Every structure is written in structure tokens, then in C-alpha cells.
Structure 1
Amino acid sequence: MAASLSIFLLFSFTFLLTFSLAQKPSSQNIGIVLPVIKDVSTLQYATHMHHGSNPTVPIKLVVDLGGPVLWLDCASGHMPSSHRPINGGSLECSRANIANGCDCSVDTVNTITHGATRGELVEDVVAVDSVDRSGQVTSITTVDHFLFSCVPPWLLNGLASGVKGMLGLGRARISVPSQLATSFGFQRKFAICLSSSNGIVLLGNEPYVSIFEPDLPNSLMYTPLISNQDGALEDYYVNVKSIKINGKRLSLSTSTLSIGGTKLSTIVPYTTMESTIYDTFKRAYIKIATSMNMTRVASVAHFDVCFSSDGLEKTWGGPAVPVIDFVLQSEMVKWRIHGRNSMVEVSDGVLCLGFLDGGVSPKASIVIGGHQLEDILLEFNLGTSMLGFSSSLLMRDTSCSNFKLYSMPSESL
């Protein structure tokens, strides 16, 4: 596996040397694709890009769905010499909404450890893969003058092995989707499809239409993206109006659910709920599961509610356990969670409910975590502030790990 990855990186590097001029997407190339691998030890989702021109180097990055910027450790000796600091008062600095005189630095956060610093805003060349209308990756495409935050090595603490920074997919003006849309004239939208192994991020003018089965993009449901209670627009929030378990609505007020809103996160491994919401949810789930003859067992590690898997029927959507619905703007628009996304197999014979107590007064009343995002096609339209989401792909007898587009390495990045 390591040998295959080395060959891939060598090929990419050679390709970039051969085509020294920036390769812009042709009329056939409608988007950019980033491979995503789930790190089993940290449960983080990692991708890679190529960076710099003197020399070009591969960089491994943790995917942060709500991150405002791509940030990198610039002091560990792996950085190419081609990156250039951005001057305060420049157009580039204004794009980052910075007004610090001669200093152009950005607030930069490791959203896993919550470590924070002021990072120096710099620019350099990055290289990504272009996808054409047939769903094939046709070339490695370079992007000039790409902005990112340069930070000290200690900000990497808590990230997966080999990672050099975080790739922000948020709604900020210098996030990765915003910069690529500006560079290539794309619509300001992207899609993600995560799994427990391989996944993808797709950016551009609907490249996923040719990659997924034809009717999948047309079957998406849509809900508005909203700001949180502080008016922040970097993360992605939706409005959950009610929660149902096996069709039974929980006794939760809309006002309780709306405090802080519901955030989508690739950083939080499992969905968290504000304590009062979680308590109601947990008691209702246990009651319904017990009525289905599920046997509760002792709690395991971070999980409070666990069951024996003995005798549970296996379905396309995972074990036959109570179905959870997050009802959005109407009863017709709901995010349905089947057993594969609601339960976590912690050992042979034991399944635990993958929902955790998020504490009192969290910033978001609910955070939908990575486990619940897997094997669902998610489309984020920054231009219209809408989220499109599919039902579980497992119910279609497929998954996000099935979409292998090109010579992308399938092993760990």
C-alpha cells in the first residue's frame, strides 16, 4: 500500500513538473475532486493536496466542514520556499476581512483541541484533481495565489498522524470552496460523501451528477442553511423543529431545539445534544428499543446507551433498531437515521447508541457528527444558502466508499 502511494505521489509530482504552466479546467472539466480517508485511530477525515512550486509537496489535511480557511504548519521544514506573505491593506487581506494595518494575520483554530493562534496569511500554488463530465479525473490542476494561514507546529496537536493542517470548507470568503469558485468561475457549491473508509469532496458545477447514479442528485431533499444564535455564518447550521423515534414525536419544544441551532460537523465523531434534549431522547429511545425486545447491556467507554446485537435483524441500512428522524422545515422534509448511522459496534455482540450528551448551554443545541454524516450525499450551496441531502446510500445498496473515480490511492493518505 505504501509503495502504491509513493508511486502515485511521484506521478503527480512528475506531472506538475512537466506542465509548469497552470492547467486551468477545460470546458470538459466541470469540477475538482478531493479524496477523503477516515483515520481509524482518531476518527478524523483526512484529504490531501499538492502545494508549492519550489518544490511541489503533498500535504495531508484534516477536513473541517465549518473551517473558515486552510491552515498549515509552516515551521517544520516541509514547506516549499514559494509561499509569499500577504501585506496588510492589500486586496487579498481585505478578502479575509482583516484590517490590521501592516499586519495581515487571521484567527486560526484547531477545532478538535480548540487551540488557537494568529496565523500569518500567505499565498502559494496548490494542485488539485479535475473531474470531467464522464466522472473521470483528467488532469492535475494548479491554482495560483491560493490563500492560507501559516501557523506554528504546536497547533497540530491532536490531529491524525502525518497531518500538516486543516482544510476549511466553511462559508468564509477565503475557505477552500470560495477560493476555488473564484479561481475557476464555479458555482459556490460543493458536495461531500463520507464513509467509514474512503470518501470524496467534490467542488464545482455539479460534478457529482456524472459520478453518482443518475437519479441520486435529483432525489435530494433541501433545507435552508441558517446562522447560529450569534449570527455566525462560517459553520453550517440547519433548523431541526422536532425529533421522532419510530414515528413517535418526542416531547421537546421548538424553542429548546432552536437555541443555538443544529450544526453539521466533520470534527465531532458522534452527534451530541444539549443535556435536556439528550435526556428526553435517551429515555424515549430506551423505551422504544425495549418494546422491540432489544436487550440493554452495560455502558461502554464514552457511550451511555448500549444493547446486545444478538437476534437483531440485519438490513441494508444496518441493524434493525428504532429509526430516528430529525424533522426540518416541515413533516415532509426529514433527515432519517437508520441503524448503521445511529449505532456503533463497539465489540462483538454489543452496539451502542452513537449520540452523546453535549452538556449544558452548548453553542449548538445539536451537533450532527461524522458517524451520522457517513454514506449520505450532502450538497452545500453557498450561493443560495441551501443544504441538499440524500437518504442513506446504504438503502440503495451502495455507499460513499464505492465511488472510485481514478488513480486516487485507496490506502491511507
Structure 2
Amino acid sequence: MICFTLSFSSSMASFLKFLLLLPLISHIHGAISQKYPTLPKAAVLPLTKDISTLQYVTELLIGENLAPVKLVVDLGGPFLWVDSEFTSQFSSPGSVKICSLQCSMVEISGGSRSCGLGYNASKTCTLQVENSVSRISTSGEMKEDIVGVKFSDAVDPGSFAYIQRFLFSSAPNLLLEGLASGAKGMLGLGNSIISLPSQFSTTFGFFHRKFALCLSPSNGAVFLGGMPPELENEPTIPMMYTPLISKKSNIQQGYYINVNSIKISGKKLSMNPKGSVGRTKISTAIPYTTMENKIYSTFVAAYIKAATSMNLSLVAPVAPFEVCFSPNEGVSNKRTLPNFPTVDLVLQSELVKWRILGRNSMVRVSDGVMCLGFLNGGLNPMDPIVVGGYQLEDYMLEFNLGNSMLGFSSPLGMGEKKCSDFDASSRNTMVS
């Protein structure tokens, strides 16, 4: 018997809609079970970092001809969207009607769809599509087509996982502004029913509704279904866990954790009378962590004090950074940069903290200058703190959508393994 744990609406109507999908899910699961006596536990997407935009990009196979499409990874994005010109040239997607079961999934995910008497049922289902880098948004048509990614541990290492009726959105060409060269859209990994992790979990019942993310300055990977089996019990990658919190109305708008306090070199910063920082977003859409103006000012003052006590000298800032140092001799050649202050994001207790070492806090802009990779987010940002891609690199992050927990490792660059050791495009395993 196959069990599913999905975050659907509590209404009976929504539950009945999901029941209609079970025969298709069972059929696909049975076909996979016959082909693979030992079922794969994860599928893998190789990642690379675009040098000019600092975005993380991957490829999916889409359409009957399985054309590769280059996409920018959007950790909190609710779904996949692709340039309509690409889909018309390399794919033949089917349109989704507004009164269909597929369109109703948008309503379950927090959208608004009404289909009552007198409504034009032949109309195409539309979605609000956003480029999370440029913050441009517009409406796009909901589509369905074949999508494929590679299994990470199947009997046949070249085998692929396919979803025959994968739901996504087409979007006008204007949304490509600001994306990495050659990118034709964005791949959403967010906590919605039509995101890539959710659709894979729903289609292949043996996939857990979770995924692991490992970014690096060069290569990395996304593992659908969670950490690959060869790493689940890896003693060199211990994991800590913290709850994922919702932004509003129990609808996840990206991934958030609660930060109780921030410490620099072990000293707690005084942020406000309550001492709590609060909701913190995790994002791949921005290259560096941003902080609300007051938080940033307190943070920078404490960091400079800690750094100068370590005999680091302030130098003229280099845009976009506001604080830069001349490092001690020999420091710039060390991967972990031990001679810089440590930054701790203290989570639900003093025992659970996300430690950021010099490797993830300092950015080398020249041989003699390193700058603090935290930026001023302004007076009234949407989120007080957004942890950006640079601070996520060489951490193993596991997003469990079933129990709303985030697992995170210590910095992998400290030991023998790091995220760039993933050769996901060929062997799908860690390179020894």
C-alpha cells in the first residue's frame, strides 16, 4: 500500500480532487516497480554557477523530443516557467483549461480560481508568473508536457524519470530580462503543489516530498527525494534541523526559518528589546545576504570591531560591498578563511545554530582586498533578512516539505567533501 503525505487544503472538495489522481499515480508507480526491482530514492539535477550573474542554473528535458532547456534555479519559486517562444519551437505543450482539475491545484496552492455557472470553461488557466531576480511579473498560461530528469541511484545509471503531464507555465519573452545568458525560464523548488519537488513526489510514490540542495562556486546539485542514499548516513556530513515557517496564512511564500539572535565571534548582537531577529528567508534569487537597515548597521559595527581585534585592516569599499578588509598574509589562499570572525545564526536554541565562516562571509575582490558579503537591504524590505546564494554554498541543505523542517550541515569545505565534488552530470555520486 502506498501512503502519501501532502499539504492540501482541508476541505473535502480538495481531497476529492486529489483522489482523482490516484489511479494515474498507482499506474506509474507500478510501471517503475517492474522496471527497477530496487527502486531509486532520488533524482538529480546538476547545477552550475553563472559567473556574470552569480545565478545557479540547471537543465531539464522537456517535450516529446526531450529538448534541454536552461533554467535559473529559484529556491522559493512556486512552479516552473518557460519562455513561450521556446515552448512553441521545441515543445508541444497542452493547454490547461480553467475549469480543469489541474487548474484547481492553483487554488489549493493559494491562488484564486472560480468556475461557476455561466463561466467560460474553454478559457485557458492562467498563473501569475514572476522573475524573482528582476521582480518583473505578468500573467502566463498554464501548460502540461513531458519533463525528464536523471535518477541518481537507479540500476541503470543512465536512466531518467519522466512525468508525462508535468504542469508549468509559459511566459512572455520580457520575463527573461536579468537571467543568465541562454536561460529560458526559472525552475521553482518552492512549497507548492505544482513545484518540481511536489510533482515528482506525487507522480512517483516512492519519492519523499523533500529535496536536497548543494550549491558551490562551480558545480553542485539538486536531489529530488532528499539526500542521495550514499550521503544519508555519511558521518562527515552531520545535519542539524530547524522548523520551516510560513510567511502568512499557512501558505509558503518561499522558505523561512526563525532566527532568535545573531552572534559574531561568539558575542550576541543587541537587535531590539526582545532580542529576536525573527523571520529569515532563504533564497537563491539574490547573490548575497541582505539585512534590513537597522539590523545591518548593528551587524556591520560588531563585525568591524571583531575583525579589527584580529588585526584586519579596513580599506576602501568596493561596490556593491560597503565593508572591505586587507587580509593577513596568506589568508586569501585558505579555503575556509579561518582568520575572520565567525557569524552564527542562532535558531530555536543555543544548541542549534547556522555557523558562517570566512569562506561564506568574505568575498575576494582582488588579491589584496576581501569584502563582507552582506548587503544593506534598505529601510522597509519585504523580509528583514534574506540569506543569499553565496552564504549557502558548500552546505548540504535538505528541505522536507512533508514535516516542514530544514536540515543543514556544517560547512562542507572544512572537511574532505564540498558541493563541487558532485559530478552529477555523469556519475551522480560524490567523487572520491
TM-score w.r.t. length of structure 2: 0.84
Q: What is aligned with 2:50?
A: 39
User: In the alignment, residue 115 of structure 1 is paired with which amino acid?
Assistant: I
Paired residues of 1:272 and 1:366 also in contact (CA < 8 A): yes
Shift of the alpha carbon at 1:110?
A: 0.2
Give the match for residue 288 of structure 2: 270
Report deviation, 1:405.
Answer: 4.1
* Counterpart pick for 2:341 among 290, 307, 322: 322
Distance 1:275 1:181 in 2: 40
Mapped contact 1:82–1:124 kept (Cα < 8 A): yes
Match of 1:228, SS state, is: coil
Deviates more, 1:100-109 or 1:42-51: 100-109
In the TM superposition, residue 327 of structure 1 has moved relative to its aligned partner by 0.2
- 1:381 matched to 2:400? The reply is yes
Q: 1:298 aligns with which of 316, 328, 337?
A: 316
C-alpha separation in 2, matches of 1:347 and 1:316: 15
Q: Once structures 1 and 2 are overlaid, which stretch shifts more, 378-387 or 395-404?
A: 395-404
| Partners of 1:35 and 1:408 within 8 A in 2 | no
- Aligned residue number for residue 225 of structure 1: 244
Q: Which residue of 1 aligns with 2:220?
A: 199
Distance in 1 between residues matched to 2:275 and 2:375, nearest whole Å: 17
User: Where does 1:382-397 land on structure 2 (aligned, <5 Å)?
Assistant: 382-397=401-416
Q: CA deviation at 1:255?
A: 5.0
1:281 is matched with: 299
**Alignment of structure 1 residues 229-248 onto 2, 5 Å:** 232-248=251-267
The aligned counterpart of 1:184 is 204
SS in 2 for 1:141: strand
> Is structure 2 residue 84 aligned with structure 1 residue 74?
yes
CA distance in 2, matches of 1:23, 1:368: 41
Deviation at 1:312, TM superposition (A): 5.5
Partner Cα separation in structure 2 for residue 155 and residue 257 of structure 1 = 37
Distance 2:201 2:166 in 1: 12
Tell me whether 1:308 sits opposite 2:333 in the alignment. Answer: no
Q: Structure 2: which amino acid aligns with 1:297?
A: V
Matched ranges for 1:124-143 at <5 A: 124-132=145-153, 137-143=157-163
Superposition pairs for residues 100-111 of structure 1, below 5 Å? Answer: 100-101=114-115, 102=121, 103-111=124-132
Q: 1:115 to 1:23 in 2, by over 3 A?
A: farther
- Matched pairs, number: 383
Alignment match, 1:61? 71
**Residues 179 and 238 (structure 1), Cα distance of their counterparts in 2 relative to 1, 3 Å cut:** same
Relative to structure 1, the CA distance from residue 77 to residue 207 in structure 2 (aligned partners, 3 Å threshold; closer, same or farther) is closer
> What's the offset of the Cα at 1:213?
7.2
Question: Is this contact kept in 1: 2:46–2:425, CA < 8 A?
Answer: no
2:298 match: secondary structure: helix
Q: Deviations over 1:263-294 (max 9, x none)?
A: 00001100000000000000010011111110
Paired with 1:229 and 1:351, the residues of 2 have a C-alpha distance of: 38
> Matched residues in 2 for 1:280 and 1:312: separation?
29
Looking at structure 2, the residues matched to 24 and 108 of structure 1 have their Cα atoms a distance apart, in angstroms, of: 33
Q: Flag the 1:255–1:121 CA change in 2: closer, same or farther, 3 A.
A: farther
* Segment drifting more, 73-82 vs 264-273: 73-82
In the aligned structure 2, how far is the partner of 1:265 from the partner of 1:386? 16
Q: CA deviation at 1:216?
A: 4.4
Q: Which residue of 2 aligns with 1:367?
A: 386
Residue of structure 1 equivalent to 2:102? 92
Letter in 2 for 1:173: I
The change in CA–CA distance for 1:178 and 1:92 in structure 2 (over 3 A counts) is: same
Q: Secondary structure at the match of 1:214?
A: coil
Amino acid at match of 1:131: S
State the alpha-carbon separation in 1 of the partners of residues 88 and 362 from structure 2: 40
List per-residue Cα deviations over 1:24-56 (Å, max 9, x = no partner): 473332111000000000000000011000x32
Residue type at the aligned position of 1:347 = S
Is the Cα–Cα contact under 8 Å of residues 23 and 142 in structure 1 kept in the other structure? Answer: no
Secondary structure at the counterpart of residue 41 of structure 1? coil
Corresponding residue SS for 1:33: strand
Structure 1 residue runs without a partner (length 5+): 1-21
Instruction: Measure the CA separation in 2 of the matches of 1:262 and 1:61.
Output: 25
Percent of pairs identical after alignment? 50
CA distance in 2, matches of 1:362, 1:254: 20
- Give RMSD over aligned pairs: 2.2
Question: Once the two structures are superposed, what CA deviation does each residue of 1:210-248 show, in whole Å capped at 9, x if it has no partner?
Answer: 14772245x200000001257541310000000000001
* Distance in 2 separating the partners of 1:240 and 1:120: 38
Deviates more, 1:26-35 or 1:97-106: 97-106
